[in-house]
Amino acid sequence: MDGFIQSIERYDSSNLLTALPSAFLEPLLSFTLMEDPEIRLLVLSILTSLIDRRHNAPRLAATAAR
């Protein structure tokens, strides 16, 4: 799973429709309904990595921690 997350972090897409096709997104989102918080956090990390094309997540995390 760590390798999957690392490859997602390096993925650069100019179009969110190609980065997040429904065939990929729907099964991924189904994991957010699980009771295990670690799995939900992992899915959130994957989605954030895919959506954050300008690598602003560290700045948002620093702001949220204040």
Q: What is the pLDDT of residue 18?
A: 67
Q: What is the pLDDT of residue 35?
A: 94
Domain assignment of residue 38, given as a range: 19-65
Q: What is the pLDDT of residue 58?
A: 81
**Statement: residue 9 has pLDDT above 80:** no
- Give the count of domains, the chain: 1
Q: What does the pLDDT look like over 13-49, one tens digit per residue? A: 666 666 677 888 888 889 989 999 999 998 888 888 7
pLDDT tier for residue 62 given thresholds of 50, 70 and 90? confident
Evaluate whether 58 touches 47 at the Cβ level (below 8 Å): no
Residue 55 falls in which region: left (phi positive, over 0), alpha (psi -120 to 50) or beta: left
The answer to whether residue 7 is domain-embedded is: no
The answer to whether residue 61 is domain-embedded is: yes
Evaluate whether 32 touches 40 at the Cβ level (below 8 Å): yes
Q: What is the pLDDT of residue 30?
A: 92
